[in-house]
Amino acid sequence: MRSIRNKILGLIGIVAAGAAIALAFALVALSGIEGMGHRVSRQNAIALATERLNVAVNQLSEDSRLAYMARNPNEARNAAAAIEKGLNRLNDRLKIFTGIVPADEGERATKISRLVADFAGIRAETAKLAQEVSGRAADAWGNSEASRRNRAALIEELGGFSQLNEQAGHAVEAESSAYVARMRVLIPLTLLVLLGISVATAIAFSRRAIIKPLLDLGAVMDRLIAGDTAIEVTHMQRRDEIGAMAKAVSVLRESSEQVAILQQQEQAAAAARLAR
């Protein structure tokens, strides 16, 4: 026999299903917010890598001045050591930069890498000339027209990339802020709507499956108590506790009806005896 307990568990299941759907939506929304956060962090990381690469270029240019001003072998060695250190730093930061640049900017990153390689080659040759020839020779090479063009092109590319990345960062931040603002409204609203629907469905189901049948049986019993046996007992076809109650009420109605018939017969017989 089916049990009302199963229907009650069904009610709980309806509410739980609504809560599960609401939770799933909230998790998806939070995942979107987390994804936006990753995009913002990535843009910030690209901006930082570009800025650090630019600083390394400028620092290496400053270190090259030591080679230009070298007047003896000791100063030339010190200048070469500073330039070598700057070259290592530049190479490390270039690797970080190229590793973090998105694929759609790969062509520009390749161009910057090529300019950096040319720039590093010029600075390495500058250090070599300072040691093997003179500071004046290093100055002539490091400040040659080709060197100036290379450095100007590199600074221009890095500046343009920084500006482009800044614009992209602002766009991502604006998109992220708009998404978060929407989710602040949608998440609570969706939770309320889904939970409201599940609760309303549970209430409607409980009224149809449990409350109304019980009220119907209660009304039948009230009429039976009042002596009215000309009534129909409903819900007897159900295979649960309410169906069992309906059958019991039906038996009570039949018993009450038989008692009423017997009372009528006794009253009729008594009236006949009095008439004689």
Tell me the per-residue pLDDT of 168-227, one tens digit each, with 9 for 90 and over. 888 888 888 888 888 888 888 888 888 888 888 888 888 887 788 888 888 888 887 777
Domains, the chain, in order of start with CATH, read 4-199 (1.20.120.1730), 227-275 (1.10.8)
> Which of 225, 241, 224 is CA-nearest to residue 233?
224
Q: Per the structure block, which two tokens stand in for 229?
A: 């046996």
Tell me the C-alpha distance between 104 and 224, whole Å.
Answer: 84
Tell me the C-alpha distance between 2 and 237, whole Å.
Answer: 12
Q: Are 224 and 252 in contact (CB under 8 A)?
A: yes
> Measured over all CA atoms, what is the biggest interatomic distance in the chain, rounded to whole angstroms?
158
Q: What are phi and psi of 133, to 5 degrees?
A: -120, -85
Residue count of the chain, please give it: 276
Lowest mean pLDDT among 4-13, 125-134, 171-180: 4-13
> Which of 159, 168, 164, 152 is CA-nearest to residue 42?
168
Tell me the per-residue pLDDT of 43-72, one tens digit each, with 9 for 90 and over. 889 989 999 999 999 999 999 998 888 889
